[in-house]
Structure formats: structure tokens, C-alpha cells
Structure 1
Amino acid sequence: MVRSSDVLLIIVAILFPPAAAGFITGCSCDLLINICLTLLGALPGHLHAFWLIYKKMVAEERYGAGGFRYVGNGQYEPISAAEVPSYGSTA
């Protein structure tokens, strides 16, 4: 299922692939890789950005929206219940 945020990421990836990579991965090695690929040519940068978007969509389907964290190299891991802040509640 394609969400509206994914459509927005695809549009950003078409216009400027490093921005889409930055939105997905933050300031990480994947952002630097995407910048270098974009400097080598438009197509490699676009392909890398679309691959990152695809991996994010797969993680959303597997773990649910917001139930995962990016660990690098296009890999995601679920957020365990122990890591979710309770904000002072005891339940």
C-alpha cells in the first residue's frame, strides 16, 4: 500500500535524490553514498533513492507505521516494547 508520505518521497527523489535519501536515513553513510552517486550521474542517484524508498515501504508493511528504526544499509529493525517511552504512565 502506497501512503501519501511515500508519494511525496518519490516526488522529492525525482527532483533531488539526496534530499529523499536524507529524509529516509538522516545524516548517515547512505546519504553520502547517494550524494556521490548523484554526482556520478543522475540515474545512479535516482536508483539508490528509489531503493531506499522501497526498503522503507517494505519495513512499513512488515512492522507497521512507526514500528521500526533504520539501522543502515537499507536495513530496518523493529522497535521493541522496552524501547517505547511510557511518558510516566505505569500501565
Structure 2
Amino acid sequence: MEKIAFVFPGQGSQKVGMGKDLIESYPEAEILFSKANKALKEKRVDISKICFEGPEEELKNTVNAQPAILTISTILYKLLRKNKIKPSMVAGHSLGEYSA
């Protein structure tokens, strides 16, 4: 039996453009980005815009980087599970522990 692990990244793994391919290919990704934007509305943060367009310095800022990485990790997890991919183990580095 093949064993699969999901390993989630921490802060520092963010990159401008991350998640854009997901939102273009999977309607579920757009829904989760919308939920993240709604949750961050009080902070006046459009996490999808920051992820897709930057600027890089804004994405590197902890108040943006952490929700961006958590959003992408959640989307990827949900897509893997939707496709019946079940991990034998999950792990995460730093912020990634929350996703795990």
C-alpha cells in the first residue's frame, strides 16, 4: 500500500502569483478565496489580489503572508480530498502546523 503525506509550508514560502492557477481551474478555490476576503474585510485586505498581483513586499508582510498561505493550503487540502487522495500522515512547518 502506498503511503502519502501532506506537508504544509510556513511563512516564507509565499510568492506573488500563488493560487492564481487554482482559481482559474477550480471553482472551489474562488469560493475559499471569497471566504478569506470576507474574513479579512475589517482589515481591508483583499488576499486574492495580494496573492495574485502583489506587490511582493505587501505579500511578505506577516499580516498578509499568513492568511495567504493558510488560504492556499486549505484550498489544496480540499482539492486533494475531493479527488479521494487521503494522507497517511500530515505535517506542517511553523504556520503549516495549523493546516496540518
TM-score interval (norm. to shorter): 0.3 to 0.5
The alignment's TM-score, normalised by the length of structure 1, stands at 0.39
Which one has a larger percent helix, Structure 1 or Structure 2?
1
Higher RCO (Cα < 8 Å, 6 or more apart) = 2
